Structure 1
Amino acid sequence: MPIKSNKLGPGSLTFGETGDIAEFGTQVTAMTLEPSTEAEDNIPVLSGDELEGDETVSYNLTGSLLQDYSSMESLLVWCKTHQGEVFPFEFVPSTEGNIKVVGQVKIRATSIGGDVKTRNTSDFEFKGIGDWDYEPITAEV
């Protein structure tokens, strides 16, 4: 198989349903879906066999966004307004590819401020709810 590699972007990151979508793509400077697995230890039994421990898979949607203080429509305000709410998301890593990531996350407020006379960023981490999946990009994206 030949080597294949892509760069992140141009792409998109949206939260919500059609007609009520928050677009993060124009403000995001870094973006990652981070899956993690917690595995319980195996349980040995008298016969010498072992009962395999359960595994739990979870994920977080993490990244950094440019802080925008220009209006009450900024993503900083949106994250605070919707903290604790669950939203569907769609993450397209690159419009030159044919993969998007979909799932649901719980929104959390982000930090505001930083160094003076600097374009500050806020890191975000939204907890995944349920499972996430890959889907092909369709003409609607």
Structure 2
Amino acid sequence: MASKVRTLGPGSFNITDEKSGRDFSADLTKAQLNPSNSSDDPTTYLDGSQEANTSTTWTMEGTIGDDFSADGLSVWCFDHANETLPFEFVPNKTGAIKWTGDVTVTPVAVGGDVKSKNTNDFSFPVTNLKHAAHTATTGA
């Protein structure tokens, strides 16, 4: 039986754009694929059967450490706002799973408390979510 990998990180989160992509890994203090489940009230038919619609939508959520340089993530997210781009999320590089799909990039907040290392949360809608085997690596 394979050993369990319970710690988030070290891992990676990358979004690919037309140039090459953006590695968010060194700027994230939190990373999470988050499902939102919803169900309609069931419809009852004359024969007594019932039918209900259940759906799940996903978001990639996290917390970014502010970087006020010209190539910081807040600038990249602003420049790519509303673009749907492929991503890969590896929760732990020694694990055996990766998640892929498409995210719709949205702008993230900039700034916060003065004389502080601020963080800001993001939430990108996800489509085409899949998981696959990830070849475990050691080190980084």
Contiguous gaps of at least 5 residues in structure 1:
none
> What do you get for the CA RMSD once the two structures are aligned?
2.2
| 1:69 to partner: Cα distance | 0.6
Contiguous gaps of at least 5 residues in structure 2:
none
Compute the TM-score of the two structures, normalised by the length of structure 1: 0.88
Counterparts of 2:94 and 2:32, CA distance in 1: 18
| 1:45 to partner: Cα distance | 2.1
Could you give the per-residue CA deviations for residues 24-82 of structure 1, whole angstroms, max 9, x where no partner exists?
000000000001221111111233322x1112221000000110012x21111000000
| 1:21 to partner: Cα distance | 1.4
Counterparts of 1:37 and 1:83, CA distance in 2: 25
Question: Is residue 60 from structure 1 mapped to residue 59 from structure 2 by the alignment?
Answer: yes
Q: Secondary structure at the match of 1:26?
A: helix
Q: Secondary structure at the match of 1:118?
A: coil
Counterparts of 1:116 and 1:38, CA distance in 2: 40
| 1:19 to partner: Cα distance | 5.6
Match of 1:33 in 2: 33
Counterparts of 1:17 and 1:58, CA distance in 2: 23
Compute the TM-score of the two structures, normalised by the length of structure 2: 0.89
The question of whether the paired residues in 1 share the 8 Å contact of 2:27 and 2:64 is answered with yes
1:1-141 pair list within 5 angstroms:
4-16=4-16, 20-50=20-50, 52-70=51-69, 72-129=70-127, 131-138=128-135
The question of whether the paired residues in 1 share the 8 Å contact of 2:14 and 2:87 is answered with yes
Q: Which amino acid aligns with 2:66?
A: Q
Judging changes above 3 Å, is the alpha-carbon distance between structure 1 residues 74 and 119 closer, same or farther for their aligned structure 2 residues?
Answer: same
Aligned length: 137
The question of whether the paired residues in 1 share the 8 Å contact of 2:95 and 2:136 is answered with no
